[in-house]
Chains A and B, each alone.
Chain A
């Protein structure tokens, strides 16, 4: 047949590109339905080959059933069908291509037959194939549509479709309760869309769910390539003006409400997974409840599992509930409590025997060809690795299991493996934390093993500490875990506890709002003007003490003032979607010229650590990481890491992946950092804390711009291509998967994996593509190199900013650390004694830098240790697991940092004894030095505060707008000098409980009269009603400490000469500080706006500007005096009366 045709058609060769190109000119021209070069065009030629083969085979098998002539003239209606069968008759499409045009005489080239062109046979062959191809494509697409509709129809919720729409029309709040698999999350929004609702928002507790739901629903609503359905999460959005249905996180919706209380942009709000009771969700419900009253047109739908439905319904004045059955296959529950001799004692590792027995039991009972994987729920990472180890031994032996761990600290690539498919005859054994209970859904699970335990974060307000503790799960969680076995077929659930245990479990898990610190929540409530948090109607109010703790903490942080109102910095912090301490760093950093490093550090501290735990025991990784380490603290290590990564990105682009792998870094976290960093930058800019983006001079000439534009186009195309092929790519696991993982103990390049990764490397690195689309690499590089070349001065200033941000999260090294092993170094925070440094911190491997150098001091008593090098640790988190651990620490010089950031500094009369926050005691040897350092600190702080307020646009001075660079320069210079060059020996220790009780002298009957406060104009220096002494500034109280020298501070008058002016007279410490605060070196006086004129004037005139009217009761006279003079005057009377 083939040879026949070849003879007929001269030199025609179907496989030759030239010949095909000639046909392309007939069928796939620029204006045809399918154009040459398009995807369909490629698909056509592939189809063509198959079609030709099919035809040849058919023809070879003989003329088939051609005897269909026996027309049955049964006298019925004649359908008028052609006599001879031809498959072409089954196609309902016709195409008008060049050949038809020529035949119809449309083309001018008619008759100009090319001698070497395709003959009529070829053209008709190709034409036939094209028609079949079009028909085939139609069938394919229609098949997809039909399947989709079938699946939708089969969902349990489908029959409630009209009822749901009707309820939403009738009532402002509707509760839809349905268990796993009923289809509520994907279908309810579609029902509403189809019913004509237009602006629908659907919240999800997890970002990943927003993305996957948006994808699924846009596919199901046949809008896969449009933007009718979109999502919006922290860094990404696919929302456009035509978006009608938006999936977003709970936190993001709250932020939107913060900006627009009416929430006019939405017609319907769906809050999904309300039963999970996340902090944000509980709060969101509370806010929406009050919003509904103001906005009667708004519709609210709560979607929940069938857990505690009445609670939600009642909260919204008995909203109607629609309950939908779930779709689960039957699951057999087997209680297998752990026998007493296999019960783990507190200190021991988990005994793997009960778990192994189940694996063996499955091997015996179920033939390997019956597929079905196993999912184990354990409480934590340590437990997982214990059981993983034991199971792997069994798996290596039987070769019937692939053991895979699953928890959030694994690299994403490792997490992703649980979705891969095991080879025939082998089951996956996935050992997971409760992450697989709700967040991660794995299909194909048939067996579930439930340990009944969970590790949950709780907050200890007394110790100001987070705690990760193991608990029994609730009955609701237990059911949820069980349900994971019945998603794709009947399953079995093994419970490693007794039925009586189950009955004793709490019905529901403790909602998050009862477990965590409420700082951010309270701050957000304040900024939304929701009134007193204590009287806010929560669905399940948190304990009042917990709210109180948060309010106190926010006051300490300076976010709330003494009347619990938002401060200007507080209202800014409320806008930032980060922890209060991180937000503070950002605001502080924007003031000084340290924006770039602060942005990076703030971003780094807000995401999970990029350093993979598993790589810590790999010597190669440790060596490769070494240059990134900074012994100043973990934030500096993170900063170095980020900068080095940006550097690599700039030079090698996609090569960064390998660079990260070599160092045991999870690159995903770095991508998160760079995104977050950018978001922070935009936030600061939108709040006027950063100068608006300079119209980049680097935009270059037109040629360059065009180049960049084409590159971006290409990148966008790559991203789209990736998104299209993304979904259906599940790899088949290899049997050795688990073994390698375990024997190498890490996910770094093992011989086998390296190869696989190389293969992956040939694919597009989608993260790299997104990175390039989102960020300007050269701009980032610039910023990175700025912070890489940081001088030690800038570094110490950055430390101070971090410390002020983190305050009061400070820890003091124990006195005896120098005699302890590296791993046993002990620290104390104000509220918790005896904490240790997390092994991932740089200070865990290098604790010496925290110790006071030997021989630095004179006397060394057991009680008192003098040095000028005491240091403190500022830390980001204090988390108790098996021990209380500090993580993300920075070391700071103790005295300087405390004086510059602490909320409460109290002194004795000659200021040689300072107590900070009623916790730390500093004793300074030389009164002269003590005074000097204190007054310098006071002056610096005053200036810093003033500039900060000015920066926040709330300057109480009202004198100037914004902050001049010169003034800033001077302040940072002063701060740096203070930090680096204060050489004072002092001792540093914690106060005992007894000492704290008798710390203050308390109010005394004979008080010095209130007087003006030259240090901080506007703040009255007045006797402190509780501590006694004189409250000089908001944070400094003079002479309130009860010690031997307290009674007659007047006696402490010593002669002193002012370095700036000619003053030489006996002054008390306070008087001296006051003078110092007002007397500036001659050169500086002109700039200082507190001193209006007479800049060069001598002492007297400079003092005179500080005078005020003072009424002396004894003289009964109004006197114009400076504060110092007032004191002197009063003393005269005192002496005379004695």
Chain B
């Protein structure tokens, strides 16, 4: 079945939620983005929802503490000067500023409400 002439697609998979999608670049300087610099090493793909071919989309990166591969979805990770997976955030919650703590608490509640 191997008829692909193009390089084999690399796939990013979030180790927390399982979201997976092909990525085209890993690093801090996505191609064709000119002045953009990412502040962490990211899994990047071309933004599929933009007609502009040069727009990129960050799918995820690795947790600065535990190196888990996580997506940028707010259920899985958080960026605050560095990337933290939700597990690590919860472990060290008290070190995060109040704003973030409050936000997370609020989200937890609303998701609980949605479930029940």
Contact = CB atoms under 8 A, between A and B. Distances in A.
B96 A81 contact: yes
Contact of B72 (A94, A138, A198): A138
A79 B92 contact: yes
Contacts of A854: none
A33 B34 CA distance: 6
A93 B48 contact: no
A31 B18 CA distance: 37
Given A196-B1, A198-B4, A68 B97 contact: yes
Interface string B87-106: 00000101111111010000
B97 A85 contact: yes
Interface string B42-60: 1001011111111101110
Interface string B61-75: 100010000011100
B97 A141 contact: no
A154 to B, nearest CB: 13
A68 B4 contact: no
A146 B73 contact: yes
A33 B58 contact: no
A197 B2 CA distance: 8
Contacts of B51: 225, 720, 724
Interface string A222-246: 1111000000000000000000000
Contact of A169 (B1, B2, B18, B55): B1
Contact of B73 (A33, A40, A142): A142
Contact of B83 (A77, A92, A224): A92
A81 B34 contact: no
B111 interface: no
Interface residues on B, range: 35 or more
A138 B92 contact: no
Contacts of B65: 77, 79
Interface in A58-113: 65, 68, 71-72, 74, 76-82, 85, 89-97
A134 B56 CA distance: 10
Contact of A65 (B18, B36, B83, B98): B98
Contacts of A82: 81
A72 B94 contact: yes
A145 interface: yes
A93 B39 contact: yes
Contacts of A97: 35
A32 B32 CA distance: 10
Interface in A109-139: 134, 137-139
Contacts of B96: 79, 81
B33 interface: yes
A50 interface: no
Contacts of A81: 80-81, 95-97
Contact of B92 (A31, A76, A95, A195): A76
B47 to A, nearest CB: 5
B113 interface: no
Nearest to B88: A79
A146 B71 contact: yes
A65 B96 CA distance: 13
A138 B57 contact: yes
A96 B115 CA distance: 44
Task: Name the residue among B2, B61, B72, B80 with the largest chain A CB count within 10 angstroms.
Answer: B80
A774 interface: no
B38 interface: yes
A96 B39 CA distance: 12
Contact of B58 (A94, A142, A196, A224): A142
Contacts, number: 128
A144 interface: yes
B99 A65 contact: yes
A195 B2 CA distance: 10
A837 B39 CA distance: 78
Contacts of B47: 141
B38 A144 contact: no
A456 B58 CA distance: 54
A149 interface: yes
Interface string B5-18: 00000000000001
B34 A224 contact: no
Contacts of A197: 1
A81 B81 CA distance: 7
Main secondary structure of the interface of A (DSSP, over half): loop
Nearest to B22: A222
B23 to A, nearest CB: 11
Given A74-B94, A94-B39, A196-B2, A68 B99 contact: yes
Contacts of B54: 33
Contacts of B35: 31-33, 95-97
Contacts of B71: 142, 146
B3 interface: yes
Nearest to A197: B1
A149 B21 contact: yes
A45 to B, nearest CB: 17
A94 B38 CA distance: 6
A78 B72 contact: no
A138 B58 CA distance: 7
A93 B77 CA distance: 16
A776 B40 CA distance: 54
A379 to B, nearest CB: 44
B34 A31 contact: yes
A91 B37 CA distance: 11
Contacts of A196: 1-4
B49 A92 contact: no
A92 B79 contact: yes
Contacts of B36: 33, 93-96, 134
A169 B2 CA distance: 12
B50 to A, nearest CB: 7
Of A72, A78, A96, A222, most B-chain CB atoms within 10 Å: A222
Contacts of A79: 65, 82, 84, 92, 95-96
Contacts of A198: 3-4
Nearest to A83: B97
B99 to A, nearest CB: 5
A145 B48 contact: yes
Interface in A149-191: 149, 153, 169
Nearest to A98: B35
A21 to B, nearest CB: 19
Contacts of A77: 65, 92
Contacts of A225: 48, 50-51, 53
Contacts of A195: 1
A358 B99 CA distance: 55
A68 B50 contact: no
Contacts of A33: 33-36, 54
A89 B81 contact: yes
A97 B19 CA distance: 33
Contacts of B22: 222
By CB atoms of chain B within 10 A, which of A71, A146, A267, A720 has the most?
A146
A92 B102 CA distance: 21
B112 to A, nearest CB: 19
B67 to A, nearest CB: 14
Nearest to B99: A85
A31 B84 CA distance: 33
A81 B40 CA distance: 15
Of listed A93, A96, A169, residue having the most chain B CB within 10 A: A93
B95 A92 contact: no
Contacts of B3: 196, 198, 267
B21 A145 contact: yes
14 contacts: A31-B35, A68-B99, A72-B95, A80-B81, A81-B97, A91-B39, A92-B61, A93-B36, A94-B38, A145-B21, A195-B1, A196-B1, A198-B3, A225-B48
Given A38-B52, A95-B35, 15 more contacts: A32-B35, A33-B35, A72-B95, A77-B65, A79-B82, A79-B84, A82-B81, A90-B79, A92-B39, A93-B36, A137-B55, A138-B57, A142-B58, A144-B49, A146-B73
Q: Which 10 A-B pairs have the closest CB atoms?
A: A222-B48, A85-B97, A96-B35, A68-B98, A92-B79, A94-B37, A92-B39, A68-B97, A72-B94, A89-B81
